[in-house]
Amino acid sequence: MLNGLLFQGFCWYLPADSRHWRRLINMAPELKEIGVTGIWLPPAYKGTSVFDTGYSAYDLYDIGEFRQKDTIPTKYGTATELQQLVAVMHESGIRVYADVVLNHKAGADETERFMAVPVDPKDRTVEIGEPREIEGWTKFTFPGRGDKYSQFKWTFEHFAAIDFDQATGQTGVFRIVGENKGFGMAVDPEYGNYDYLMHADIDTSHPDVIRELYNWAEWYLSRFDFDGMRLDAVKHIDEPFMLGFIEEMRKRVKSDIYVVGEYWTADIERMRQYLDNVHYHMQLFDVALHFNFERAANEGSAFDLREVFDNTLVQVNPLNVVTFVDNHDSQPGQALESFVADWFKPLAYALILLRRDGYPCLFYGDYYGIAGGEGLADVLRPLLLARKERAYGPEKDYFFDKNAIAFVREGDLKYPHSGLVCILSTGAENSVYIELGADRFGQTWYDMTGNRSEQLVLDEKGGADFTVNGRTVSVWTEKNC
C-alpha cells in the first residue's frame, strides 16, 4: 500500500477573506504530487464572526449559507465551495476529514437566567460559593437560519457550565445546577475534572443533546461526503459519549469512517488508557513526540537524539497514532505555543515521514508559511517525495551517537528503487558505515535532500559510509538514472 500522508489544510492566521476553500482547490494537484492521501480541513461552520477559525462554534448547520454574525460565508468560504473542494480532492485520490467541535458553543443569541455554582478553576471538584442565579449567554435560536436543517434550539439545560455572569460581570467557572446536571466523570483529571474548557460547555449526557449531535453529524458527514473526522478537545468530553458517537456515525454514515482525536497531553499512560476506553475506535495525535521535537530543537547538541522516541505514543502504540511536528495550536501566539525551531524541522519531518510507524501529518504552516512568512516547501519536498517513492520495507535503527542517528528502510520489490538510509545530526558533521546486503553491490546512491553532493558506490557487502552535515539531515537512496 502506498504510504499514507495526512495534510493539515490550514493554520491559525489565514486571511479572513473567505477564499480558503478556493485556495485548497488550486493546491490539489501539488498535494497529490507530493503524496498527500488525506486532508484535514478546519471547522467549516459559522463561528462568532468571519474572523473566527471555527473553534468558537456558533451554528453547526451554517456552512457559509446564511447571514449570521454579519456574514454569509465563513472565514473559509461557502457551502457550495466546500462541496466543490471535497469533489476535487476525491478526484485527486485524497480523502477528506472534517474538523468536528463537540465540546462547546459560542456567540449565543440571548441570555438566560438560571442557577449555577462557582467552582475553583484550579480544582473544579471544589465549590467556592453557594448556588445562585446568574445570567448567561446560553440561548441559541439561529435567527438567520430559522428551522432549516434542524428545529433544535439550545438553552441552558443543554450545557454543563459557562465562564461569565452577564448580571455581575464576573468571570470564572460556573457549573450549571439542575436535575441530572454535573460535569462528565470520564474526562481528563487535570484540574480535578477538566470537563470545562471554554464558552458554553455542552452537556453530552443530556438525551436531547445526544440526539441532536448525532443527527447533525450524520447530516454534515453525508451532505459533504466526508471520509473521516478530526475530533477537537476530546480530553474534555465524556468518554462514553465519544465512543457512542463514533459507533453511531459508523452505523449511519460509513462503516470505515476515519477518526483521529486531539488529546493534548504528553502523558502516555493517560493516552493509552483513553484509547482502551474508546475501544481503539480512533487514533490520537502524538503530542509527546511533538514535545520531544520542541526540546531537541531548543537544546540542540545538549539533547540526546537517541532518546527522541522515548515516552511517545508512536513508540508504545504505533497503530493508533498520528505523528506531527507542529499544528495550528502550537504555532506562535497560541495558548499551546510550543513551536519547533525551523533549523530542526527537516530532521523532525524526516523522523515522521520516513519511518515505518505512525500516520504522519504535514502542517500547512510549515509547508506554505504562516501569516505571510515563507514556508519550508523547498526543504520538505525531497522528504515528502522520499516517503512517496522510497520509504518502504523493513526498518533498522543505527542510533550510534548522542548527536547523530540513522535508520534504514530496506525497500520493497513492489516499489522500484525503494529503500533508503536516513541520517541526522544535531551536532557536527558525522557518518556511519551501514551494510545493506550484497545484492546492492555496485549501486550508486545519492542524497535526495541535496545537502551532500557526493555519490556513494556500495561495496561488495552493499555497504558505505553514509555522511550527514552538522545540524541537518541526509536521505541516501539508489540513483536510478
Bridge partners of residue 464, in order along the sequence: 434
Please name the residue ranges forming H helices in 48-172.
Answer: 79-91
Q: Report pLDDT for 15.
A: 95
Distance CA 145, CA 202 (A): 21
Handedness of CA 450, 452, 458, 462 (dihedral sign): negative
Cα 188 → chain centroid: 19
Strands laid side by side in the 404-409 sheet = 395-401, 404-409, 420-425, 472-478, 444-447, 456-457
Contact, 324 vs 352, CB < 8 A? yes
Nearest 5°: the CA angle 276, 278, 282 is: 100
Contact, 379 vs 325, CB < 8 A? no
What cell numbers appear for 130 in the block?
453557594
Contact, 466 vs 473, CB < 8 A? no
Handedness of CA 187, 192, 194, 199 (dihedral sign): positive
Which of 41, 186, 14, 185 has the alpha carbon at shortest distance from 100?
A: 41
Distance CA 37, CA 32 (A): 7
Contact, 468 vs 474, CB < 8 A? yes
Two domains, one topology: 105-202 and 395-478? no
What cell numbers appear for 134 in the block?
446568574
Q: Report pLDDT for 374.
A: 85
What is the CATH topology of the domain spanning 6-102+207-389? TIM Barrel (3.20.20)
CB hemisphere CA count around 242 (13 angstroms): 34
Q: Report pLDDT for 2.
A: 84
Please name the residue ranges forming H helices in 141-238.
Answer: 207-223
Q: Report pLDDT for 345.
A: 98
Please name the residue ranges forming H helices in 13-165.
Answer: 20-33, 79-91
Catalytic residues: 232, 262
Strands (E), 78-128: 95-100, 104-105, 110-120, 123-127
Residue spans of the domains in the chain: they are: 6-102+207-389, 105-202, 395-478
Q: Is domain 395-478 annotated with CATH 3.50.50.60?
A: no
Q: How far apart are the first and last CA of the chain?
A: 25
Q: Tell me if the pTM is above 0.95.
A: yes
Distance CA 460, CA 457 (A): 10
CATH of domain 105-202: 2.40.30.140
Q: Report pLDDT for 377.
A: 97
User: Helix, strand, or coil here: 258?
Assistant: strand
Q: Report pLDDT for 201.
A: 98
Give per-10-residue mean pLDDT for the chain (481 aa).
93 96 98 98 98 97 98 98 98 98 98 98 97 98 98 98 98 95 95 97 98 98 98 98 98 97 97 97 98 98 98 96 97 93 97 98 96 89 98 98 98 94 98 97 97 98 98 96 63
Q: Report pLDDT for 1.
A: 63
Distance CA 266, CA 285 (A): 10
Which of 196, 148, 191 has the alpha carbon at shortest distance from 175?
A: 196
CA distances, 343 to each of 11, 100, 307, 440, 476 (Å): 20, 33, 19, 33, 20
